[in-house]
């Protein structure tokens, strides 16, 4: 056992905290955020401590789940214990949020929401799409009628649609 570890253990035994993992929560202000490492640097806001805390995890474990990225200068609650790395419990302001559920990722930031990435572009405005589609069907029907008048028979291929025919109602959106 190293000297520092034995000294730490002796102090914990004297304090009656050896073998326990008491959780301490402090109020702090965010100095900076490392999005890739999922950590931040915070300054505690109580008068007893002026030590900057580095490598504070944005969640209890830096893995899947709910990860919020706090804004610089925002106020956070930081939890830490002798056997745990410090981590953020609560945020006053966030810049973005990532939710990961079994490989399914959702990103939320000031620019909007990304469901499984952004390679397919934005969601379709179904009502506008239905109107445009039905106009194309009406134009096609008129063309078929014009060709039929000339003796050329073209069987109709397109039908009028409603929003219900085209939308996935499990994902809905609006425009604020």
More confident residue, 157 or 136: 136
Q: What is the per-residue pLDDT for 65?
A: 86
Q: Is the pLDDT of residue 3 over 70?
A: yes
pTM to 2 decimal places? 0.67
Mean pLDDT of 4-29: 83
Q: What are the C-alpha distances in Å from 126 to residues 91, 129, 161, 172?
A: 36, 5, 11, 10
pLDDT tens per residue, range 76-113: 999 988 778 899 999 999 999 999 888 788 889 998 88
More confident residue, 17 or 133: 133
User: For residues 147-168, b (16+ Cβ closer than 10 Å) or e, as one string?
Assistant: eeeeeeeeeeeeeeeeeeeebe
């Amino acid at each position: 056992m190293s000297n520092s570890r034995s000294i730490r253990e002796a102090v914990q035994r004297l304090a009656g905290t050896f073998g326990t993992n008491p959780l301490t929560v402090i109020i702090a202000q965010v100095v900076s955020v490392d999005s890739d490492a999922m950590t931040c640097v915070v300054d505690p806001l109580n008068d007893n401590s002026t030590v900057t805390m580095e490598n504070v995890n944005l969640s209890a474990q830096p893995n899947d789940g709910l990860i919020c990225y706090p804004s610089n200068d925002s106020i956070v609650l930081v939890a830490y214990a002798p056997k745990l790395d410090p981590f953020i419990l609560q945020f006053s302001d966030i810049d973005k949020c990532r939710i990961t559920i079994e490989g399914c990722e959702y990103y939320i930031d000031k620019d909007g929401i990304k469901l499984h990435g952004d390679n397919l572009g934005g969601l379709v405005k179904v009502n506008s799409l239905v109107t445009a589609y039905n106009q194309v069907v009406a134009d096609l029907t008129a063309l078929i009628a014009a060709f039929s008048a000339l003796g050329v028979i073209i069987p109709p291929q397109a039908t009028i649609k409603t929003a219900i025919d085209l939308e996935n109602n499990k994902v809905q959106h609006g425009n604020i």
